[in-house]
Structure 1
Amino acid sequence: MAMIELQNVTKDYGDSRGIFNINLSIELGEAFGFVGTNGAGKTTTIRHLMGFLKPNTGTVQIKNLDAWQNAAEIKQCVGYTPGEIAFPDVKTGWEFIHQQAELLQLTDLSFANQLIERLQLDPSANIKRMSKGMKQKTAIVVALMADPPILILDEPTTGLDPLMRAEFIQIIKEEKGKGKTIFMSSHMFEEIEETCDKVAMIKEGKIITIEAISSIMSNEHQQFIIEFSNEQESTRFMQEKLDSVAISHTMVSVNIENNILNEFLAILSTYQFDNLTEQNHTLQEQFYHLYSGGQSHD
């Protein structure tokens, strides 16, 4: 069952700005990552999910409700952190937390207190004097404290230090373990790798790929770095019919399809080399590869 669904969604601001023909479907209990450069359309997409923007064409639904028409009802079951945090006119973090709890008709703040402790937040601080990181922590507490079934998080760890980012990832894993549906944009590829089942990449307002994280991490080919004993061996190896690139006079990078791995190792055994290193595939590598030449995905 799709908890979040965008079908042929376009918001055209002119001059090629906006989002174009966006199709996404996030299943119940799925954690879905959303990556792209600044200005690619991540926040615009998320604002449609929250009912802040109405698309020119297409439909946006959360729990089978129209995100624009039923925005108030949807907000009752969605925890949201905005990309740009702007607090209302309140003095302290506590005041904001209590104000939001009242709006959500939340009387038990025990989970909020747990999150405050884990994120090392001082909610008694003056909200206008809070650092970016403290404001971010406050927004995370408010998004999660009512235990909503859906989380929509726009760059949630901006401003957090590495220790707090690791704690946040652990919290998200726990939320996912409760069966929650999570949609998260992030610049931090490791966050997406560690928490998400699938990822969509957006470029210039268009989805260029949607892939399972598992398929990215276990690619159909393997990359090796070979350090040859001398330049002659390196030059000779480059004449083999393999997908290889010279890194230096004696070092070569080679991509090997999994089905010819044994053949590659047999070829390599006829060469003098000092070192062979396998490179791990990452979401970041996939992102840069697709961004340099990826095609849009409708």
Structure 2
Amino acid sequence: MEQSVIEILNLTKDYGDGRGIFNTNLIVKQGEVFGFLGPNGAGKSTTIRNLMGFIRPDGGSCKIMGMDCYLEADKIQERLGYLAGEISFIDGLTGKQMLDFIADMKGIKDKSKMHELMQHFELNSSGKIKKMSKGMKQKVAIICAFMGEPDVIILDEPTSGLDPLMQNKFIDLILEEKKKGKTIFISSHIFEEIERTCDRTAIIRKGRLVAIEDMKSLNKRKKKSYIITFQSIEQANQFLREGFDIIDQKDKQITVAIQGDINPFIHSLAHYEIKNLDIKIETIEEIFMHFYGEENQAGGDQHDRKGTV
């Protein structure tokens, strides 16, 4: 049985007016890549700040490797890699100087991993931090989090500002670290990133966990939609009486949702003249969006972006 590395038990941090996190419970196992999703203001950053020992909880507890995150933060830091949602570097340093500074601060003697990651992310480290783009700074932050070969890595929006090529390189890195047995906790808005890397994913909304999903099981539950264009509207209307789950109809075109055995659907289609048949597979984003609620449609609360929740 896998050992629990991150344990959150009834964790509460109440900022008032419904802001914060409330009675949050989750366990991340050793070697697991665990996703953390939710709209802005849901409590993702507050949870991470508690894990990092930056704030004292109002109730409950959280532990990493059996150590209390607030009381033993210094011991945890020795074996932890962290990427903050809001990056803050020393502007006067170059990228390489910043990396060396962090390495020295962490007591990292062997910098081979740092150089490997610089090459992997094609980082030009000679420029001053203050002149770097958001994406370049993000590369530096990712390297800082991983270069000490930590046992546990906590990442808050790790690919913010990265272009699609570098996002793919980041996913490759996560999968490689996963093979080594590293435990990784990722807060992200990018559903593809979560789908391709995570074993399980928690969804938080208004400060409370609403679901923890196993990603393999979730993928098996994806619905397939078939968009059928019939030869005539009469045939389309006749098909409506077959008893399938009809999502939409536009004249001769009908969209049907199929989950599980597809054979009855195929046998039924054989009795009709079909002009066209398209297939649409439900995405992870579509599955998760119903957890987000109406505030996400309106842009959401901005507390996470401002760094208060």
Q: 2:222, 2:97 → 1: CA distance? A: 52
Q: CA deviation at 1:69?
A: 0.7
Work out the number of aligned pairs and report it.
292
Selected match of 1:223 from 222, 225, 236: 225
Give the CA RMSD over aligned residues.
Answer: 1.8
Aligned letter for 1:278? Answer: I
Q: CA deviation at 1:234?
A: 2.2
Aligned letter for 2:145? Answer: A
Q: Which has the higher contact order (CA 8 A, sep 6+)?
A: 2
Q: How does 1:3-14 map to 2 (within 5 A)?
A: 3-14=5-16
Selected match of 1:234 from 233, 236, 254: 236
Q: 1:126, 1:152 → 2: CA distance? A: 26
Structure 2 contact 222–282 (Cα < 8 Å) conserved: no
Selected match of 1:159 from 137, 158, 161: 161
Q: 1:40, 1:283 → 2: CA distance? A: 19
Structure 2 contact 224–257 (Cα < 8 Å) conserved: yes
Aligned counterpart, 2:190: 188
Structure 1 contact 36–202 (Cα < 8 Å) conserved: yes
Structure 1 contact 90–96 (Cα < 8 Å) conserved: no
Aligned letter for 2:73? Answer: A
Structure 2 contact 227–254 (Cα < 8 Å) conserved: yes
Q: TM-score w.r.t. structure 2 length?
A: 0.89
Q: 2:10, 2:79 → 1: CA distance? A: 24
Q: CA deviation at 1:224?
A: 2.3
Q: TM-score w.r.t. structure 1 length?
A: 0.92
Q: 1:130, 1:103 → 2: CA distance? A: 22
Q: How does 1:26-175 map to 2 (within 5 A)?
A: 26-88=28-90, 90-175=92-177
* Structure 1, 152-161 or 100-109: larger mean CA deviation: 100-109
Q: CA deviation at 1:221?
A: 4.7
Q: 1:40, 1:229 → 2: CA distance? A: 49
Query: 1:269/1:291 Cα in 2 relative to 1: closer, same or farther (>3 Å)?
Result: farther
The answer for unaligned runs of 5 or more in structure 2 is 295-309
Aligned counterpart, 2:272: 271
The answer for unaligned runs of 5 or more in structure 1 is 294-298
Q: CA deviation at 1:247?
A: 4.4
Structure 1 contact 216–281 (Cα < 8 Å) conserved: no
Q: 1:184, 1:53 → 2: CA distance? A: 19
Q: 2:235, 2:20 → 1: CA distance? A: 52
Q: 2:8, 2:89 → 1: CA distance? A: 29
Q: CA deviation at 1:215?
A: 1.4
Q: 1:216, 1:281 → 2: CA distance? A: 11
Q: 2:163, 2:48 → 1: CA distance? A: 24
* Structure 1, 170-179 or 89-98: larger mean CA deviation: 89-98
Q: 2:16, 2:51 → 1: CA distance? A: 21
